[in-house]
Structure 1
Amino acid sequence: MPLPDQSSAGLPRVAVEEGLPLGADPVAPSVRVIGDWLSDDPGRALVLALIGAGIYGLLVLLRWGLRKLAARPAAEGAWRGLLGKAVCATRSFFLAVVAAQIVAASADLPAPLVRVIGFLFTVGTVIQVAIWAETLVSGLLDLRSQRAEDDSAVNLLRTLLRVAVWLLAFLTLLANLGVNITGLIAGLGIGGIAIGLAAQGVLGDLFAAFSILLDKPFRRGDTILYEPGAIGTVEEIGMKSTRIRALSGELIVVSNAKLLGATLANYADYRRRRVVITFGLIYETDVDQLAGVPAIVRGVVEAVPLASFDRCHLIRFGASSLDFELVFTVDHPGLVEMMSAREQVILGIIRAFRTGGLHFAYPVQVGMIAGPDGLIVDPAVAAAAGAGHPRPPRSAVTGNR
């Protein structure tokens, strides 16, 4: 009849397997068995110890080589850098228990010694995996955030991730050691739900802050449009709110959840700026002169540093002008540089048009006089009639001109 894992009195498994009486201490017999094995065959034990030391030395040499490979300039990069950090975080204790486990799996060792090595291997593996996970998570967070050491939200996220990693490692270790963790997990779940319901707004803003820091729609120092007509510079991304310095000087505090759900325009990501200028010439301008306007404007734009000509066309008949549209780009992200180039282009166009005899249009309104019958009187005809000349018939044209 097979023996159960534990007696009704909670006796450890090793005591039952060794056939010990109830209440007996399982440690002393295990130590006695291991000591007998060492005394009976010391040569074999020494050989196995040397093999384990050799395996440990090879693992240490492999870790050293991977460290050197990760430290080379050619290995620079996001993922290679993270893997290099993970290799550097590999502990010697883990390498030692791995070597011992390899020896125990391939050699005929006493059962108590195999159990001890298995226990140490389980503990060492769980701890080492937790260290690797913490290293990789922290490295990814550093890559996805800016000036993480100065930002409280990033530091809090790093702390929460570390707590989660080590809590998961602790639960895994207890499960591997035979402890029933179902009740513990249920308690943690109920507590988490209660906390989440009690602090929905705070947690919403907190996770929104994490999303902003990881996704990076904007960073500290960026100028953004966060509401229609509301433009400001981001000064701080906090755990619950983001502080924005408006163009008029006041400090605007916006909740992270609201900011994350809004449609943002980030002006800091400019690489070049597009400028559109509309101007009009008088209707009396000669057609050949109108046809030569794009070439004149192109020469003006190309003479301005950082400005690149795109197009210039006669686009419509305006109320008092023939309207042209000029489009050019400024190869600089700065607002001041764009405005300076725009100013130079406008001044250049004014000079070029004055030299070429072209005249800018301005709004003109002409008043017409109508006779008793409602017909418009031509001013030239009225002037001729006042000078004593015969008055020609009035025009039948009505309306304004």
Structure 2
Amino acid sequence: MKSVFDSVPSDFRLLSILATIIGITVLANWAVIAIINRLESSKLTSDSFDRTILIFAKRLISAVIYGVGIGACLTHIPELKIVGHSLLTGAGILTLVGGLASQQVLGNIVSGFMIVFFRPFRIGDRITVSGNYTGTVEDITLRETIVRDAENNRIIIPNSQISSEVVVNANHTDNKICKLIEVGIGYSSDLELAMKIMREEIAKHPLLIDQRTKEQIRDNSPIVTVRVTALGDSSVTLRAWAWADSPANGFALQCDSYVNLKRRFDEAGIEIPFPQRTISFADGSRVYSLAEGSNERNAR
């Protein structure tokens, strides 16, 4: 005796089954992602929580759920039944991926797992890759790492490449940064006054943080250390060590300090040397070049 379902055309039954499987797959993915998002929102109340793992896990779980859904759909299509069973049972998945995708793509996925597991950097960290690309890690996908630079460009670096490169992480374990502020002054300038001005101007900047030890504070050591680091051909190089609580604040501290130092040096009559050239001709005339690329003047 035939049931009512047996009287339905086979093509319509197949479409109904496929639609049901797709619907269950989408619903399951939505439910799991919603749970993870709720967990992420509750954990974000803590500043120490790492969002990288959950974001990467959402993409991985979605890939698995849709993979299972696609496999279930393929088992109901006679021509693709073998492929569907392979996806569902897990047998031959790596072979299938290796056959359908390139070795580089598979390497990117594995490297993505390594980045999330060993955590050389996390989302929100400021990194420099091979000395060429500097920016903030915006996202880590199964295939690539996305870095946003200072100009708001997105630098897309494959996971397999970034995992084999030298990465400088400004936020790894400690966000504080020390900026080196160097200024050259003329040999005829007052050296002690110039060093005093550097200490005063940098110390009063609101973004500077005090990195002195208890012993240094007790001994009344200056907040900013200034030393002579070189005696050049035309200038004495002074270097100050200035600390900030983040790379962004450190950059602002450094830029503001150069402006303030230039202003104070001008007021105090402290010279900041620049290149000067004198060219003599056979007829006795001379040309003075104040700086490379500047306008020249003749003096006879």
TM-score (norm 2): 0.52
Q: 225, 245, 249: which one pairs with 1:310?
A: 225
> Which amino acid in 2 is paired with 1:310?
T
Residue of structure 1 aligned with 2:185, choices 274, 281, 290: 281
Q: How many residues align?
A: 199
2:274 to 362, 366, 377: 362
Q: In structure 2, what residue type is equivalent to 1:338?
A: G
Higher strand share: 2
Shift of 1:330: 2.3
Cα distance between partner residues in 2 of 1:252 and 1:344 = 28
- 1:238 to partner: Cα distance: 1.8
Deviation at 1:237, TM superposition (A): 1.7
What SS does structure 2 have at the residue aligned with 1:293? helix
CA distance in 2, matches of 1:354, 1:339: 23
- Residue 341 (structure 1) aligns with: 253
Report the alpha carbon displacement of residue 204 of structure 1 after superposing the two structures with TM: 2.4
1:329 aligns with 2:242: yes
Per the TM alignment, residue 241 of structure 1 is displaced from its structure 2 partner at its CA by 2.6
1:155 aligns with 2:61: yes
Cα deviation, residue 300, structure 1: 2.7
Question: Which structure is higher in RCO with an 8 Å CA cutoff and minimum separation 6?
Answer: 2
Give the 3 Å change call, closer, same or farther, for CA 213–311 of structure 1 in structure 2: same
Q: Which runs of 5+ in 1 are unaligned?
A: 1-141, 160-187, 378-401
Which position in structure 1 is the counterpart of 2:81? Answer: none
Q: Which of these residues, 222, 243, 248, is aligned with residue 146 of structure 2?
A: 243
The answer as to 2:265 corresponding to 1:353 is: yes
Provide the rounded CA distance (Å) in 1 between the counterparts of 2:261 and 2:153. Answer: 39
Q: Structure 1 residue 228: deviation in Å? A: 4.0
- Matching residue of 1:203: 106
Q: Deviations over 1:182-226 (max 9, x none)?
A: xxxxxx998477457535444322221111111112222333323
Q: Distance between the aligned counterparts of 1:296 and 1:352, measured in 2?
A: 7
Q: 1:258 to 1:295 in 2, by over 3 A?
A: same
Amino acid at match of 1:309: V
What is the one-letter code of the residue matched to 1:326? Answer: R
Query: Match of 2:196, as an amino acid?
Result: A
Residue 156 and residue 218 in structure 1: after superposition, are their counterparts in 2 closer, same or farther (change >3 A)? farther
Return the letter of the residue paired with 1:205.
N
Report % sequence identity: 20
The TM-score, its normalising length taken from structure 1, stands at 0.41
How far apart, in 1, do the equivalents of 2:143 and 2:278 lie?
63
Secondary structure class of the residue paired with 1:280: strand
Q: Distance in 2 between matches of 1:290 and 1:144?
A: 48
Offset at 1:313?
0.7
Which is worse superposed, 215-224 or 350-359?
Answer: 350-359
Rate the CA distance shift 1:156–1:205 in 2: closer, same or farther, 3 A: farther
Q: Does the 8 A contact of 2:128 with 2:167 survive in 1?
A: yes
Q: Cα–Cα, structure 1 residues 345 and 147, in superposed 2: closer, same or farther, change >3 Å?
A: closer
Matches of 1:351 and 1:250, distance apart in 2: 34
Letter paired with 1:273: I
Query: Tell me, what secondary structure is at the counterpart of 1:261?
Result: coil
- Displacement of 1:263 in angstroms is 1.7
C-alpha change, 1:259 and 1:360, in structure 2 (3 Å) is: closer
- For 2:232 and 2:52, the matched residues in 1 are separated by 55
Counterpart amino acid of residue 359 in structure 1: E
Matched ranges for 1:62-73 at <5 A: none
Q: Could you tell me how far 1:231 is from its partner in structure 2?
A: 2.7
Structure 2 unaligned blocks of 5 or more: 1-42, 66-88, 210-222, 286-300
Counterpart residue identity of residue 282, structure 1? G
Contact 1:205–1:241 under 8 Å retained in 2: yes
Contact 1:278 1:323 in 2 (8 A): no
Please tell me whether Structure 1 or Structure 2 has the larger radius of gyration of its CA atoms.
1
Question: Which residue is equivalent to 2:77?
Answer: none
